[in-house]
Structure 1
Amino acid sequence: MTSVKTSQPTVTATGRPRVGLVLLLGAITILGPLSIDLYLPAFPTIQHELGASEASVQLTLTGFLVGLALGQPISGPLSDAIGRRRPMLIGLTIYLAMSVLLAVSPSIEILIGARFLQGVAGAFGVAVAMGMVRDLAAGAAAARLLSTMMLVTGLGPILAPMIGGQLLRLVDWRGVFWFLAVVALGLLATAYFAIPETLPADRRTTGGVRTALRSYRVLITDRIYVGYALTNGLMFGAVFGYIAAASFVYQGIYHLTPQAYGVAAGINALGMVAMTQVNGRLVSYFAPRRLLIVGVVIATLSGAVLLGIATTRPSSVWWIAVPLFVMVASIGLVMPNGMAMALNDYPKSAGTGAALMGASQFVLGGAVTALMGLGGSSTAIPMAGFIAGLTLLSLTAQLVLARPRSGRAAAARQRVLLRYEPATHESEVAAEARA
């Protein structure tokens, strides 16, 4: 059996990317949600067995998020310069090794360090997969593909808490990381034989990795790109505020079992996945940015309601669970559209653009989880306050920074892009502009 090493994107006879390839890329990115959600029900057990504080256990999540944030600025430009396939395989290999180390970790310090390195490795899959999608489509078409990919990615938050809760019936928390090692091994083998190279040599950035890194300057001076990056990043931070605190709030305050918490978290993620599929259909009728704004407005209103309810310290968990469900579901309208619109002008730097966007998300997510540990878990108010504040900031970034350019500003920006993003041929630029 031979591996797939073609340099041409895999498409159907109609010119559309194979859905199977996009779903497989989603399976690669599922390592992120799995690595986060799978072991959340084990937080109290890890704290007890390793004699660690609540804040230090949450640092294992922070370390993973920081690794994801730092790994993406490396993997993105690398994939723009040498292609997508090799960085993805390297990342999966390192992730496998770190999963084994985590399974045998003797202390909380090693656990935090190994989680950081596991995050760096996982970043290669996240950034490269997003770059591959942009290799194959642009604009609304990319939003549809990203919605399809999130169908698989969203299975991570749905299944991980449930699987984690059930695994803890059979094994200790170390068994959770052995499970991740097995998943990584399966994905590595599948990727080696089934994922082609989607970025041909003639579409890669010239001048090597150094030139690819210089494209960061173009990205961070693009008001609209920064607006979309902050919109997604702040929403991502709101979700991780929920992720970091929910296991303590649900189990510590409302006394849910690990299994019941897993079901509650899975229902929230199911709402997000359902909304991504609705979004995949709606982008055929409505502009991606309009759908994104609707999603952020819903999240902001849900955050405000959640904060108001949390201050009353309700006796039933349902008062907390319902606005959390609405907030998490709204992500399905925000993330695919935000990523697609942010990368629309950067066909040759899609890996770098996706990496910078992903890094900003995980920096914010890591900061929120670290701060959540300081807020305590005696009430749901810290969690609700972070969610309300971050969703409001996300809406502000979208309305202020990501607003469309005037005709003159658009022409000036196009001249900058042509200097750093020379088109493969003129028809490609025209097609992407229409998308």
Structure 2
Amino acid sequence: MGGVPLSTLAQDATTAVRLQERIAVFLLGFSAFLPLYAPQSVLPQLAADFGTTPAATGGVIGATTLAVACSAPVAGPLTDLFGRKRAMLTAILLLVPLTLLLTLCHDLTQLLGVRFSQGIALPALFTGAVAYISSRWSGSQAAAMTGLFVSGSAMGGFAGRFVAGLLAELVSWQSGFTALALISALCALVVLLWLPADRGRPIEGIAAHVAGMRAHLANPRIRAVCAFGSTVLFSMTATLSYVGFHLAGPPFLLTASGIGLVFLVYPISASAAPFNGRLIQRFGTRGAFLAALGVCFCGQMVLLLPHLVAVIAGIGLFIAGIFLCQSLALGYVGRTATVNKGAAAGLYVCFFYIGGSLGAVLPGLSWTAAGWPGCVALVCTALGVGAVISRAMSDAPRPA
């Protein structure tokens, strides 16, 4: 046989496996965020079909995020107990029938119930991925894989909104959710085939979980990164919720479709997430967090300019910084918690979504009092709090 050395074939096989692993990790993030915010693009249709107010219909999003915050601390230990790959795969598979159930809902109450159920399933993906990545890879590889997960989450969030909105306009909102269920099923198949088995032995016993949770809560670095995560999603939710009101008013006067097109920068900016490893190598852990927050702050300053191009650029810059922050924080959780990683990730996700819930409410007071500049001031304050918190996150984290 002619000519290809066995060493070359082995190297090619290794490269292929690594590519499959990267795709699988990307799809973990994609699957987690595909259904999370998908209904945002069809809320007006849901309100019209069910005869509900916009505020009540907005609960379709709130029900899911509330369930995520409530169930995340429980999901973390469960992923440790039953195996991370198994838990994540089960979560994706559960999302398939739950998403299909949305198409059978005849009133808002039923829809809220199904959306809450989706939120209960989602944290197994968030917490399991953090624990899985940090236990399988280390150093710059772990940082890169975390960045892929975050990039996948950004693309999933965008794809969910886009597919649901497009099919709702062409066919019906039910067809959009049907398509999302099929996409989730395909993602589950790829994860099953391409994601390697867990490394390390999951912890056993309720007593071990209780002890691990106490250790995490007693660890100032775990507490710090959880608080940091709250400021991150607070800032993101506040900005993306109220910039639409800003763009709908003078001098922009954009329509709803125009505002939607502005958010096309979302997945583009999320491509910054895999650069978290380079930031750590260049600036160290604390410096990387501060650099990412600095990008967010610069984006907020650009958002104050009264020009549409500037606002689009500001959104893009801000989102890039946010995803850098999120990628860095997830990696830090995995490095700091050397045991009970799922429990630590669950705590982080819980605090993360508590911050997001507050970010949807508190900026309304700033908007009423001072308009868009008031919202920017509040977000910059939150970013400043995040910078102070980052001082507690050192380059050499202690095990939890």
Q: Tell me if the contact between 1:162 and 1:262 (Cα under 8 Å) persists in the aligned partners.
A: no
Do residues 394 (structure 1) and 386 (structure 2) align?
A: yes
Partner residue, 1:268: 266
Listed one character per residue, the Cα deviations across residues 233-258 of structure 1 (whole Å, up to 9, x for unaligned) are 31122112234445555568755455
What are the within-5 Å matches in structure 2 for residues 202-217 of structure 1?
203-206=201-204, 208-217=205-214
Compute the displacement of 1:361 (Å). Answer: 0.7
Partner residue, 1:131: 131
Do residues 343 (structure 1) and 334 (structure 2) align?
A: yes
Compute the displacement of 1:334 (Å). Answer: 1.3
Q: Matched residue of 2:35: which SS?
A: helix
Do residues 298 (structure 1) and 295 (structure 2) align?
A: yes
Compute the displacement of 1:280 (Å). Answer: 4.1
Matched to 2:226, the amino acid is: A
Q: Unpaired runs of 5+ in structure 2?
A: 1-10
Q: Matches of 1:131 and 1:18 in 2, distance apart?
A: 19
Q: Matches of 1:51 and 1:239 in 2, distance apart?
A: 30
* Change beyond 3 A, Cα 1:239–1:231: same
Q: Matches of 1:176 and 1:255 in 2, distance apart?
A: 29
Q: 286, 297, 306: which is aligned to 1:289?
A: 286
What are the within-5 Å matches in structure 2 for residues 416-435 of structure 1?
417=400
Matched to 1:279, the amino acid is: N
Q: Matched residue of 1:344: which SS?
A: helix
Scaled by the length of structure 2, the TM-score of the pair is 0.84
Partner residue, 1:321: 312
Q: Matched residue of 2:350: which SS?
A: helix
Partner residue, 1:5: none
Partner residue, 1:171: 171
Listed one character per residue, the Cα deviations across residues 51-71 of structure 1 (whole Å, up to 9, x for unaligned) are 222222222111111122223
Compute the displacement of 1:116 (Å). Answer: 1.4
Compute the displacement of 1:389 (Å). Answer: 3.4
Q: Matches of 1:122 and 1:31 in 2, distance apart?
A: 9
Partner residue, 2:346: 355
Q: Tell me if the contact between 1:164 and 1:262 (Cα under 8 Å) persists in the aligned partners.
A: no
Scaled by the length of structure 1, the TM-score of the pair is 0.78
* Change beyond 3 A, Cα 1:66–1:381: farther
Listed one character per residue, the Cα deviations across residues 64-87 of structure 1 (whole Å, up to 9, x for unaligned) are 111222232222111212211322
Q: Matches of 1:299 and 1:291 in 2, distance apart?
A: 13
Q: Tell me if the contact between 2:33 and 2:156 (Cα under 8 Å) persists in the aligned partners.
A: yes
Matched to 1:34, the amino acid is: L
Matched to 2:75, the amino acid is: S
* Change beyond 3 A, Cα 1:66–1:196: same
Q: Tell me if the contact between 1:55 and 1:373 (Cα under 8 Å) persists in the aligned partners.
A: no
CA RMSD of aligned residues (A): 3.3
Q: Matched residue of 1:322: which SS?
A: helix
Matched to 2:232, the amino acid is: M
Q: Tell me if the contact between 2:285 and 2:393 (Cα under 8 Å) persists in the aligned partners.
A: no
Q: Matches of 2:211 and 2:13 in 1, distance apart?
A: 37
Q: Matches of 2:110 and 2:340 in 1, distance apart?
A: 36
Compute the displacement of 1:272 (Å). Answer: 2.5
Percent identity, please: 18
Compute the displacement of 1:398 (Å). Answer: 1.4
Compute the displacement of 1:142 (Å). Answer: 1.9
What are the within-5 Å matches in structure 2 for residues 192-207 of structure 1?
192-200=192-200, 203-206=201-204
Matched to 2:178, the amino acid is: W
Q: Matches of 2:183 and 2:256 in 1, distance apart?
A: 22
* Change beyond 3 A, Cα 1:181–1:292: same
Q: Matches of 1:28 and 1:127 in 2, distance apart?
A: 11
Q: Tell me if the contact between 1:139 and 1:344 (Cα under 8 Å) persists in the aligned partners.
A: no
Do residues 116 (structure 1) and 116 (structure 2) align?
A: yes
Partner residue, 1:31: 31
Q: Matches of 1:161 and 1:261 in 2, distance apart?
A: 13
Q: Tell me if the contact between 1:219 and 1:226 (Cα under 8 Å) persists in the aligned partners.
A: yes
Paired residues, what number?
388
Matched to 1:123, the amino acid is: P
Compute the displacement of 1:403 (Å). Answer: 4.9
Partner residue, 2:150: 150
Q: Matches of 1:343 and 1:178 in 2, distance apart?
A: 35
Q: Unpaired runs of 5+ in structure 1?
A: 1-10, 418-435
Partner residue, 2:3: none
Partner residue, 2:79: 79
Partner residue, 2:189: 189
* Change beyond 3 A, Cα 1:19–1:135: farther
Matched to 1:215, the amino acid is: G
* Change beyond 3 A, Cα 1:381–1:116: farther
Q: Matched residue of 1:368: which SS?
A: helix
Matched to 2:260, the amino acid is: G
Listed one character per residue, the Cα deviations across residues 260-309 of structure 1 (whole Å, up to 9, x for unaligned) are 43332121331122x22333444444424322211112323433564x55
Matched to 2:383, the amino acid is: T
Q: Tell me if the contact between 1:144 and 1:281 (Cα under 8 Å) persists in the aligned partners.
A: no
Do residues 369 (structure 1) and 360 (structure 2) align?
A: yes
Q: Matched residue of 2:129: which SS?
A: helix
Normalized per residue, the structure richer in helix is 2
* Change beyond 3 A, Cα 1:376–1:109: farther
